[in-house]
Chain A
């Protein structure tokens, strides 16, 4: 965690100088390269001192069937992410990172892992739309939709704040995605590890075998 703060300070410092050095001379780029080496070594997982209780969420899956999160994932290692399919940037990257990492697990472990994607844009993300999108990532991912207030409430129980989609002046829908992936332990069913947007395939690949056993990465 300390390293993370350190890296952020670095990036900010570097960015601030952008406008200030218009007339300085060109030079080597090595200092910044060292910064990136630093960020690469940080730990992606945040282990919570006080784990989250699994939200009591009953939503609709991509088949249009009712899905009770607690019941369906009881005793299973589970990852949850809140996002939306009309999101070109962080949402597909996050989901693909997890999907690619999962494929590197032994088959039996792959089958144990539950990956749940909850839409933050239920109006556009119908079960069919969610299903189509997730098929392009990993068909085994559970995609959930339902009323926005239910989804928002579930997210809130995990410390994830999501505002409802709004429309801009051109009528384009602006949605929000959650900022974290929450991992739930198969032993306690509690959400005990968080991953931010910076978590990579390598981070998940390294941590998934532990998460599947309910161990701390």
Chain B
């Protein structure tokens, strides 16, 4: 069942990468990064929250997400889930012409030492730092605790909303 489908998919996956190798508009630095589909589910308590986003690299040069800070948290770390275990991730590569997806059940931003509890409808400011690219500040909307992007677990989830360019 799976075999015959896979090759077709490989094509689809490649085609679906919006801006795969496409030229950047108005950027001078080598990597051309943009952040899409950012959100934070409203956390349960005022001590801990998670955040998700996709970093798209529309250039031929790779970059790494190094760290993050936020106005509402004393500490922001990037965590990855491997199996059932969550641990702090090191640098995360954003491959040339590729993307880094932080999504529920996988890699995510973990906000600790919150200054207040973010509530649905609010916006949280997050500054992402990279190896090469200048920092990018993302206004991350706080969604309901059970919010899910329209498509999860697929690399194409963020291509629906490419307006934050």
Binding site for B on A (CB under 8 A): 2, 5-11, 13-33, 35-36, 39-40, 85-90, 92-93, 95-97, 100, 132-133, 136-137, 162-163, 168, 170, 172, 174-179, 197-198, 200-201
Contact = CB atoms under 8 A, between A and B. Distances in A.
Given A93-B146, A132-B45, A137-B44, A24 B14 contact: yes
Contact of A133 (B21, B41, B44): B44
Given A29-B16, A32-B13, A36-B151, 14 more contacts: A13-B10, A16-B10, A21-B20, A22-B95, A25-B21, A31-B12, A31-B13, A35-B151, A39-B151, A89-B79, A89-B81, A93-B41, A172-B88, A175-B86
Contact of A176 (B5, B17, B85): B85
Contacts of B20: 21-27
Contacts of B45: 85, 132-133, 136
Given A13-B6, A86-B48, A89-B104, A23 B21 contact: yes
Nearest to A2: B1
B98 A22 contact: yes
B16 A178 contact: no
22 contacts: A9-B2, A9-B5, A10-B5, A13-B12, A16-B10, A16-B13, A17-B17, A20-B14, A21-B97, A24-B14, A24-B15, A27-B16, A29-B156, A29-B160, A32-B157, A33-B156, A35-B151, A86-B48, A88-B50, A89-B50, A100-B146, A176-B84
Interface residues of B, number: 56
Contact of A29 (B18, B87, B152): B18
Interface in B50-78: 50, 60
Contact of A35 (B15, B84, B154): B154
Given A88-B50, A88-B108, A14 B22 contact: no
A198 B152 contact: yes
Contacts of A97: 146
Nearest to B101: A15
Contacts of A176: 83-85
Interface string B82-109: 0111111000000111110000110010
Contact of A88 (B43, B60, B88, B148): B43
Given A6-B5, A9-B6, A93 B104 contact: yes
Contacts of A14: 9-10, 12-13, 16, 154-156
Contacts of B22: 25-26
B122 to A, nearest CB: 16
A19 B85 CA distance: 26
Nearest to B61: A22
What are the nearest 10 A-B pairs in CB distance?
Answer: A32-B156, A36-B151, A14-B13, A22-B97, A31-B12, A29-B159, A26-B22, A88-B50, A13-B9, A136-B44
A21 B108 contact: no
A82 to B, nearest CB: 9
Nearest to A174: B87
A32 B21 CA distance: 18
Given A16-B10, A133-B44, A137-B44, A36 B21 contact: no
Contacts of B39: none
Contacts of A40: 151
B44 A92 contact: yes
Nearest to B19: A26
